[in-house]
Chains A and B, each alone.
Chain A
Amino acid sequence: MTIPVLICDDSSFARKQMTKALPANWDISITYAENGEQAIEAIKAGLGDILFLDLNMPVLDGYGTLEVIQKEELPTLTIVVSGDIQPNAHQRIKSFGALDFIKKPTDKNKVKSLLMNYGILREEDCLINELLEDHKEELSEVNAQVNKPLTADSTLHLDSYQEVANVAMGRAGDLLARVLDVKVRLPIPKVSALASSELHMMLKSTDDSASISAVCQGYVGSGIAGEALILFYDSSINSLAKLMNHEGNITEAIEREMLVELSNLLIGAFLKGFSDQLDLSFSQSHPELLGLHRNISELINSDARDWQEIVAIEINYFIEDYNIECDLIILITQDSLPTLNNKLIYLLDE
């Protein structure tokens, strides 16, 4: 019997990656959804006996989807697939009714053993020869569908940047949550292509009036170079000090200490997560404190002397309960894009 499988993820890169991670020759029909709402509809239409669900999505996120499934008692077995690997996320999703959790990037063998463990996949399912041909056609159809938008234009690349960024962001969030022992709310990373002269405008739109402190760190390796910026909102300094166990008066030295520590953590974890997925390594410069308590125009040089098209990945980390907010912005130079695009295509076609 053909099992209806539903893959729900806002990124087509991730949907494709998940499809590739499913056991070969498994008798299934695959449906795709881009957000929780579409997923619910598909389950109601009987297209999702098994659901692979991402957590970070627009419209209706993974937690919300699980809630609806539980409340309406929808007939589906949910396996959460996410880059969000914070220690308590695992438990939280189980309490929301998910069967289990798979970490992104998805590993074919882990998916298989997990499906076997729950009896969803039996050894004989993979061996039915007569279905093999049939299934191959189906898969190639699916692949053709998934491939179509991917080969089209440069939006492909932004989409795969998004997915790689998602995984890296999850790792950085996980570290932050562990070190500070808090729950960190993970946003959807915003990936955009812009001219370097527009950088200022982009940063300004993050916040134009607030007083912030910023740290910048360069990275370079394997033909890819750029900068990582941490923008920390000054309104959060007292809460951060409390979290990091700095007692008494918050001197400027303590602020510097906290900022550099925070940037080591976030930038380091993000770049490691990013480079691990693409199988490359980076050298990192020393972090440079661009300034304390300024507004953004004073911190970043808006020198338009060297125009280039860059890619920016913006991630807004928010620590619940403490009202701490900081932005991690990863900038990638124009020179790096051809190399990076090649790597991403390779990752896609693996």
Chain B
Amino acid sequence: MSTVDFKEFHWMVSMINSIDAGLVVLDSDYIVESWNGFMFHHSNIDACDAKGKNIFDIFPNLDKPWLLRKFEAVKTIKNQSFITWEQRPYIFPFKNYRPITGTVKHMYQNVTILPLASLTGSVDQICLIVYDVTDIATNRQALQKANEEIKILRKESEQ
């Protein structure tokens, strides 16, 4: 690798590493190949420890049959797939970014599953992108609760 390539590689990696979303690359056997800073910071498992391990061994409480179905579908249809917090509040057991003044304990997550096509076009790897959507989720829930209360108040005032 020439110096220029290496420089480019270096900033590319620091960008991926510090982006505020989780990035995980899994091979065809669901062994972790890449694990960025977000995943490290929130799980306290660093990339060296995560790499080479099966994602279902790292997080034994994942719903394996359900996730496998999603992963396999992505590989088959070669198209991305989404998991939103409204389906399941979270996939990875991370804590709220605001662990003290936050109103919920865990981090709500949206997860995107991307197929990564190889140079020959076959999909051997998938990439998971994990977004922290705790703010959106808690605000939505607070809004719904407030609306319910307004409804009740309105009914009471009509009676």
Cβ-based interface call for A192 (8 A): no
Cβ–Cβ contact A199 & B100, under 8 A: yes
What are the interface flags for B8-37 relative to A under an 8 Å C-beta threshold, 1 for contact and 0 otherwise? 000000000010100000000000000001
Given contacts A225-B95, A306-B105, contact A283 B100 (CB under 8 A): no
B-chain residues with CB within 8 Å of residue A310 when the two chains form the complex: 100
Given contacts A220-B42, A222-B44, A301-B103, contact A285 B37 (CB under 8 A): no
B-chain residues with CB within 8 Å of residue A229 when the two chains form the complex: 101
B-chain residues with CB within 8 Å of residue A286 when the two chains form the complex: 20
Choice from B18, B97, B100, B105 contacting A285 with Cβ under 8 Å: B97
A78: shortest Cβ distance to chain B, in Å?
42
What are the interface flags for A149-167 relative to B under an 8 Å C-beta threshold, 1 for contact and 0 otherwise? 0000000000000000000
Given contacts A226-B100, A333-B99, contact A283 B135 (CB under 8 A): no
Cβ–Cβ contact A283 & B41, under 8 A: yes
What are the interface flags for A193-228 relative to B under an 8 Å C-beta threshold, 1 for contact and 0 otherwise? 000100100000000000000001010111101110
Cβ-based interface call for A130 (8 A): no
Choice from B18, B38, B100, B103 contacting A227 with Cβ under 8 Å: B100
B-chain residues with CB within 8 Å of residue A223 when the two chains form the complex: 44
Q: Please give the number of chain B residues whose Cβ is less than 8 angstroms from any Cβ of chain A in the complex.
A: 20
Q: Please give the number of chain A residues whose Cβ is less than 8 angstroms from any Cβ of chain B in the complex.
A: 28
B-chain residues with CB within 8 Å of residue A220 when the two chains form the complex: 41-42, 95, 97, 99
Q: B18, B41, B101, B105 — which one has the most chain A CB atoms within 10 A of its CB? A: B101
Cβ–Cβ contact A331 & B100, under 8 A: yes
Q: B41, B96, B100, B132 — which one has the most chain A CB atoms within 10 A of its CB? A: B100
Cβ–Cβ contact B37 & A283, under 8 A: yes
Given contacts A285-B20, A306-B105, contact A225 B37 (CB under 8 A): no
CA distance A204 to B95 in the complex (A): 27
CA distance A4 to B18 in the complex (A): 49
Given contacts A220-B41, A222-B41, contact A285 B99 (CB under 8 A): no
CA distance A224 to B71 in the complex (A): 32
CA distance A281 to B44 in the complex (A): 11
B14: shortest Cβ distance to chain A, in Å?
11
Cβ–Cβ contact B100 & A333, under 8 A: yes
A-chain residues with CB within 8 Å of residue B145 when the two chains form the complex: none
Cβ-based interface call for A282 (8 A): yes
Cβ-based interface call for B98 (8 A): yes
Choice from B37, B99, B101, B135 contacting A281 with Cβ under 8 Å: B37
CA distance A284 to B132 in the complex (A): 12
What are the interface flags for B88-124 relative to A under an 8 Å C-beta threshold, 1 for contact and 0 otherwise? 0000000111111111010000000000000000000
A12: shortest Cβ distance to chain B, in Å?
28
Q: A220-B97, A283-B20 are in contact. List 15 more A-B contacts (CB 8 A).
A: A218-B96, A220-B42, A220-B99, A222-B41, A222-B44, A226-B100, A227-B100, A227-B101, A229-B101, A283-B18, A283-B41, A285-B97, A286-B20, A300-B101, A301-B103
Chain B positions near chain A (C-beta within 8 angstroms): 18, 20, 37-38, 40-42, 44, 95-103, 105, 132, 135
Q: List, sorted by A's number, 17 A–B pairs whose CB atoms are closer than 8 Å.
A: A218-B97, A220-B42, A220-B95, A221-B40, A221-B41, A226-B99, A227-B99, A227-B101, A281-B41, A282-B41, A283-B18, A285-B132, A288-B135, A300-B101, A306-B105, A331-B101, A335-B99
Ranked 3 nearest A-B pairs via Cβ: A218-B97, A285-B97, A283-B41
